[in-house]
Amino acid sequence: MRLTLTTVNIGAPDPVALARFYEQLLGWDIAVEEKHWVLLVQDLAGGVRLSFQHEPYYRPPVWPAGPNDQQMMMHLEIRVDDLAAAVEHALACGATLAEYQPQDDVRVCLDPVGHPFCFWLG
């Protein structure tokens, strides 16, 4: 038996807008765009894919979360070779820099609807 992870699906109040943010941030292509679901691909021939699904009752996670806060369910890890330039690019795309930063060689940013994602030097 072979199992292959192909796509990570991210909930959003407006999946088209959030997909466009990640399209700009990552330089990937939108392969499918529907009102309530969008597919973003790294490479049209395969590779990692992100999809964005409409969540009508979406609540953004809190970073870092406390005991009664909305928890993040997942986050993206993005390897970069220039941490400061990556953060500058993310901010220009519409992200915000999280107030809490857990490590010197990692920067946590929040996408426009509050999902945390990490840049790490690698």
Domain ranges of the chain: 1-56, 75-122
Q: Name the fold adopted by 75-122.
A: 2,3-Dihydroxybiphenyl 1,2-Dioxygenase; domain 1 (3.10.180)
Q: At what angle do helices 15-26 and 83-93 cross, to 10 degrees?
A: 150
Residue 10: pLDDT above 80? yes
**Cβ-based neighbour number of residue 37 at 10 Å:** 15
Residue 24: pLDDT above 90? yes
Predicted pLDDT of residue 67: 94
Q: What are phi and psi of 59, to 5 degrees?
A: -125, 125
Predicted pLDDT of residue 100: 97
Predicted pLDDT of residue 14: 98
* pLDDT tens track for 41-95: 998 777 889 999 999 999 999 999 999 999 988 999 999 999 999 999 999 999 9
Residues 1-56, CATH architecture: 2-Layer Sandwich (3.30)
Predicted pLDDT of residue 44: 75
Predicted pLDDT of residue 39: 97
Total-model pTM: 0.94
- For residue 102, cis peptide bond before it (omega within 30 degrees of 0): no
Helices (H), the chain: 15-26, 83-93
